[in-house]
Amino acid sequence: MTIVMDPADMTLDELRLALAPEIASAAMFDGWTTAAVTHAAEAFGVDPATARLAYPDGAMDMIVAWIERIDADMAAALPAATLQTLPVRERIRSLVQFRLDALAGLDEAVRRALSIMALPQNAARAARLSWGSADAMWRLAGDTAADYNHYTKRATLAALYAATLLAHVNDRSEDKAETRAFLDRRIAGVMRFEKAKARCTRPSDETFSVTRLVGRLRYPAR
């Protein structure tokens, strides 16, 4: 049974995540402003003054809360136990598609958010946010890499998601069909890259060597 918490009983951190989807909807028209927070608070039944306290740094705090809420909803909807029956490619596709579906109908809010995140003063925080979402996706996909692969996988997925997000907000095709095709192509490219990287990083005795082959032809193993 799902327990619905009374907004009056929420901490500010709980409130910031709870209000985030409503703020994103309001940001379509009001931008990522205190007006959007006010509209969201009124729709949620909380005091707007209290709601504004949850976002002390303004627009960027609102955007961060929205993305963290999507991260949390993604983990709840697609836990690792559910995804483990799928090939890795399908795990990643499902996770990215979930995030895109969460943005349905909010293209203008996404465009405004991306513009704010691109400002020089927000670049470092935006990069951490992108990395965090990529990390969340890989962990749900079952990745346990602890070496440099941990970093390359997350950097690659963060870039893939950023590119797909841009395609998504500019997609005018029916039901975002072009975005889904774009996503499939990008994932296919990443999978090819991962396979090639795996071949290149195998221990030397597991990789093909022309020199070793010639040696064995000249001096067959006894």
The structure's pTM equals: 0.84
CATH of 10-202, one of 2.60.40.10, 3.40.640.10, 1.10.357.10, 1.10.40.60: 1.10.357.10
| Residue 86 zone, left/alpha/beta (φ > 0; ψ -120 to 50; rest) | beta
Residues 93/122/72/98 CA torsion (nearest 10 deg): -20
Q: Each residue's pLDDT tens digit in the chain (222 positions)? A: 344 567 777 899 999 999 999 999 999 999 999 999 999 999 999 999 999 999 999 999 999 999 999 999 999 999 999 999 999 999 999 999 999 999 999 999 999 999 999 999 999 999 999 999 999 999 999 998 888 889 999 999 999 999 999 999 999 999 999 999 999 999 998 878 666 666 665 555 554 554 444 444 444 544
Domain boundaries, the chain: 10-202
Name the one residue in this structure whose structure tokens are 């309001």.
26
63 near 113, Cβ under 8 Å?
yes
